[in-house]
Structure 1
Amino acid sequence: MFMRLRPAPLYLALFSALTATTSQAADPAWVDPAVASVNQDVIALRHTIHQHPELGNLEFKTAALVAEQLKALNIDVRTQVGKTGVVGVLKGGLPGPVVALRADMDALPVKELTGLSFASKASGIRQGKTVPVMHACGHDTHTAMLLGAAKVLAQHRDQVRGTVVFLFQPAEEGAADVDEFQSDTLIGAQAMIRDGALDSPKVEAIFGVHVMAGYPTGHLYYKAGTVLNSSDAFRISLKGRQTHGSAPWSGVDPIVASSAVIGGLQTLVSRRVDLSQGMGVISVGTLNGGSAANIIPETVEMTGTIRSNNATIRDTLLKEMPPMVQGISNAYGTEAKLVVANIAPVTRNDPSLTEAMIPALERAAPGKVHALTSSLSPSEDFSYYAQKVPGLFVFLGATPEDQDMSKAANNHSPYFTADDATLATGVKAHVQFVLNYPDRADKS
């Protein structure tokens, strides 16, 4: 799900966020040595998880590994949260608030072509079909980094103010065992929330870190307010009447109707929404129909995605799509069936929480913290947590600084890689969120 458009040139699209005084941030002397001491373990964990990826809702071995690691740290553990999710609870030695740190565990149905020594050769079953499986979006790094942060915080729990809830979530990329168009089953973040991930204990704020290819290793990026798009999927079936290709008048052509529907969908964005409020895009990703060149088929099916960085624009697109599809279909004499799957709302970072955590980010990556000047095009179901409690979702560069950022393979590419050297910054960011949030809570 985390597919992005690369901004034009990187350093023109970003500006350094050095306005906060780092002296405001809590940064005990033990943090850097503690992060360094777990670094090799984090890298080893990342390699193990990367080499053995699992699809959404099927992360059984990954979840078992996570639970084992947390229990070894004397962290209270709940399993089977949101189906295969794991929740760890660490009670600090000092009174304070409850904060959550979230990592996703699932991989994608992608065949790995990186050539890494620890590359995936795994396959899995996705909706009844055997597919290759790869950690093509960095969730292996997210899980390893959060386990590293758990170890650092557990080793220094007597100096931790409050309680830390570690959320290891399944199915951020969707569930391999659920057809999103045929089920109202909650998955991913929604399933974790349903099963009480934010309630026992009651979480006050939540943080997440996502690695990004094409951004330099060890650099952190943030934005207050809207940071990622909403995501909705759709499937449209058009039923006509099959006939010989030489006599189209004797049947009803769903292929011609489908082309009109695709064109009409684009006018929803260009003519139906107020684009001064934000952006929207409708993309058709699959179009299937027919079995021979000289036969007009009975049915055509298309699937696609709807994205927006504005809740009102999203609502308009979802409201206007059904009557438009039906109207065009009727005009061409076909029967239309439209199914929409709501995947994730707009991801918004709480503005005051974001501002308060800039010093923590600066402690995690001194001189390498940047504010994004605009939201990014991907989507994330972290948005569901951020609707329940104040949230902050930040991005961590994962491409070595000596490489050409414009040539780095994007997240979701079979060539996607994440630099092991960036993991320590991710671990430290999680730790700094925990150490610095209590000061913000005291002032609120």
Structure 2
Amino acid sequence: MTGPEELKSLACAEIDRRAGEIVALSEDIMRHPETGYREFRTADVVAGQLEALGLTPETGLARTGVKARMSGRAAGPTVGILSELDSLVIPDHPYADPETGAAHACGHNSQIAAMVGAGIGLATVHEELDGDVVLFAVPAEECIQTSWRLGLRDAGELHHTAGKAELIRRGHFDDVDLALLTHAGTPEPALGLGFTGTGSLLMRVRFHGKAAHAAASPEAGISAYKAATVAIAAIDAHREMFREGDGIRVHHLITHSGAAVSSIPALTEMEILVRAHTIDALRATAKRVEGALRGGALAMGADVEILTTVSFLPYADDAPLAEVVEANARELVGDGYARLTGSGGGSTDMGDLSRVMPVVQAMAAAGVDAPFHGNAFHTADHVSAAVVPAKLMAMTAIDLLHDGAARAREVIAGSGPKLSREDFAGLHDSLTRESVFRSTDHAL
């Protein structure tokens, strides 16, 4: 039997041999960004890449997801190597789509290339592995265009605004036992582990008032917009009571304020994102925010509809799996590896996946010194952002699946209990709430 170090050497050599193709793929996706659940061109490109590896991809999973299985020589655990298909919307980004404003200011283009690159390496050695590898490009990680996504939810086409939760609910991760993902970040470190992410709840809010002429008969109106501004002030008043260490953030956006400046607004709509490091803190903060929204409605005599859904669950790298990834990161980049410190304020739907299996999201250098998700962030160094991470994930998959997949079994056992698909759906549903508050029912 060929040893793991020789297998890793063979896989990395093939990745190096085809590094130009991996870089070209990362550049191509960067120049053709698409937003979540609309990544049809990107999905077609990925499917073509997987077919070129001799695989038979499933397509159209949760609208745009693409998944292919690379079988080992024997049955065993399955390692998922993931990428995310979607982009942000940043119209003034140098690589923005001129029509949609979509832009890869998130580095997902290099993720896709890294996933395919890992597949290129593993294609040379997978018949020596005791288990399978699934290459899985998933939709809709970024929390954007939420009104449109909630419209899909209202229509029954989707249940979740984020792609991984939707795929879990539909059973598309049932045949995966642990998962790896890499994500491009700022210039240093070359590779890093230890990223943590907050969970987040998305709230769709609609204030209903009564229209009237703003000059001739303002007294006949009830301003939905003023109800929203009172609610925003009440939310802000709560901020000094947020507990230190919970990582609470509350972001709000008025998406519709009224029909005309000359009319008292009868409808005002908002989106609110509540973030926190724990599910308990998410629940408590959402309760505060809902109280503030009801207070704004009551103060102005308006009504308010509130839909609260899960955007992401809290995230941290799985410790037993991180040990395997870390050893390979050190081998690849030496002093360029770093353990990330501090609590991340951002969120990712890898947090959802971490509830059902061991996962690690390693960070890789993008080669640009610009704010993440900003209008200047892009993949400048495709080798660091895609080729090196491809090696990292291929090497880790080999460590996990050689010699009877002993290391994969150790990681799964050491990671502790995970949620079943049914329990995962129940957790999401327990955090989902729809309510209507009518101020006339609470008149003083």
Q: Classify the TM-score, shorter chain.
A: 0.7 to 0.9
- Which residue in 2 is equivalent to 1:339? 307
CA shift for structure 1 position 194 = 3.4
Q: What count of residue pairs does the alignment treat as equivalent?
A: 395
**Quick check: 2:93–2:103 contact (8 Å CA) kept in 1?**
no
Matches within 5 A, 1:101-140: 101-111=81-91, 113-114=93-94, 119-121=95-97, 123=99, 131-140=100-109
- C-alpha separation in 1, matches of 2:245 and 2:221: 44
- Which residue in 2 is equivalent to 1:41? 21
- Which residue in 2 is equivalent to 1:10? none
Shift of the 321–113 alpha-carbon distance from structure 1 to 2, 3 Å rule, reads closer
Secondary structure of 2:115's counterpart equals: helix
Kindly indicate which of the two structures has a greater share of residues assigned to strand.
1
Aligned partner (choices 237, 240, 245) of residue 270 of structure 1: 240
- C-alpha separation in 2, matches of 1:167 and 1:198: 10
Which structure ranks higher in relative contact order (CA pairs < 8 Å, sequence separation ≥ 6)? 1
Q: Does 1:368 pair with 2:336?
A: yes
Which amino acid in the other structure matches residue 167 of structure 2?
A: M
- Which residue in 2 is equivalent to 1:206? 179
**Quick check: 1:112–1:121 contact (8 Å CA) kept in 2?**
no
Provide runs of 4+ in structure 1 moved above 6 Å. 24-27, 175-178
- C-alpha separation in 2, matches of 1:286 and 1:175: 14
**Quick check: 2:71–2:127 contact (8 Å CA) kept in 1?**
no
- C-alpha separation in 1, matches of 2:316 and 2:325: 15
Shift of the 29–236 alpha-carbon distance from structure 1 to 2, 3 Å rule, reads closer
Matches within 5 A, 1:343-362: 343-362=311-330
- C-alpha separation in 2, matches of 1:248 and 1:141: 55
**Quick check: 1:25–1:363 contact (8 Å CA) kept in 2?**
no
- Which residue in 2 is equivalent to 1:74? 54
Stretch deviating more after TM superposition (79-88 or 25-34): 25-34
Aligned partner (choices 209, 216, 236) of residue 240 of structure 1: 209
- C-alpha separation in 1, matches of 2:387 and 2:7: 15
Secondary structure of 2:34's counterpart equals: coil
Matches within 5 A, 1:211-226: 211-212=184-185, 214-216=186-188, 219-223=190-194
- Which residue in 1 is equivalent to 2:390? 427
**Quick check: 2:81–2:134 contact (8 Å CA) kept in 1?**
yes
- C-alpha separation in 2, matches of 1:432 and 1:345: 28
- C-alpha separation in 2, matches of 1:384 and 1:229: 11
**Quick check: 1:81–1:191 contact (8 Å CA) kept in 2?**
no
**Quick check: 1:261–1:329 contact (8 Å CA) kept in 2?**
yes
Secondary structure of 1:86's counterpart equals: strand
Stretch deviating more after TM superposition (357-366 or 379-388): 357-366
Stretch deviating more after TM superposition (147-156 or 419-428): 419-428
- Which residue in 1 is equivalent to 2:169? 194
Measured against aligned partners, the alpha-carbon deviations of 1:275-320 in whole angstroms (never above 9, x if no partner) come to 2452211111236424666654333332221111121100112233
- C-alpha separation in 2, matches of 1:305 and 1:162: 40
Stretch deviating more after TM superposition (248-257 or 59-68): 248-257
Kindly indicate which of the two structures has a greater share of residues assigned to helix.
2
Q: Does 1:260 pair with 2:230?
A: yes
**Quick check: 1:222–1:395 contact (8 Å CA) kept in 2?**
yes
Structure 2 spans left out of the alignment, 5+ residues: 414-444
Q: Does 1:89 pair with 2:69?
A: yes
**Quick check: 1:277–1:310 contact (8 Å CA) kept in 2?**
no
- Which residue in 1 is equivalent to 2:378? 417
- Which residue in 2 is equivalent to 1:307? 275
Shift of the 186–250 alpha-carbon distance from structure 1 to 2, 3 Å rule, reads closer
Aligned partner (choices 150, 157, 166) of residue 126 of structure 2: 157
CA shift for structure 1 position 89 = 0.8
Structure 1 spans left out of the alignment, 5+ residues: 1-23, 124-130
Measured against aligned partners, the alpha-carbon deviations of 1:79-100 in whole angstroms (never above 9, x if no partner) come to 2222221111111246653211
- C-alpha separation in 2, matches of 1:163 and 1:331: 59
Secondary structure of 2:273's counterpart equals: strand
Shift of the 194–341 alpha-carbon distance from structure 1 to 2, 3 Å rule, reads closer
Stretch deviating more after TM superposition (135-144 or 278-287): 278-287
Which amino acid in the other structure matches residue 202 of structure 2?
A: A
Shift of the 73–340 alpha-carbon distance from structure 1 to 2, 3 Å rule, reads same
Shift of the 281–30 alpha-carbon distance from structure 1 to 2, 3 Å rule, reads same
Secondary structure of 1:181's counterpart equals: helix
Shift of the 322–73 alpha-carbon distance from structure 1 to 2, 3 Å rule, reads same
- C-alpha separation in 2, matches of 1:283 and 1:245: 33
Secondary structure of 2:366's counterpart equals: strand
- Which residue in 2 is equivalent to 1:53? 33
Aligned partner (choices 226, 237, 248) of residue 280 of structure 1: 248
**Quick check: 1:230–1:307 contact (8 Å CA) kept in 2?**
yes
- C-alpha separation in 2, matches of 1:160 and 1:364: 21
- C-alpha separation in 1, matches of 2:260 and 2:63: 43
Stretch deviating more after TM superposition (80-89 or 57-66): 57-66
CA shift for structure 1 position 145 = 1.1
- C-alpha separation in 1, matches of 2:409 and 2:208: 61
CA shift for structure 1 position 398 = 0.8
Shift of the 267–26 alpha-carbon distance from structure 1 to 2, 3 Å rule, reads farther
**Quick check: 1:204–1:389 contact (8 Å CA) kept in 2?**
yes
**Quick check: 2:82–2:180 contact (8 Å CA) kept in 1?**
yes
**Quick check: 1:246–1:294 contact (8 Å CA) kept in 2?**
no
Shift of the 237–176 alpha-carbon distance from structure 1 to 2, 3 Å rule, reads closer
Task: Compute the TM-score of the two structures, normalised by the length of structure 2.
Answer: 0.80
CA shift for structure 1 position 338 = 1.9
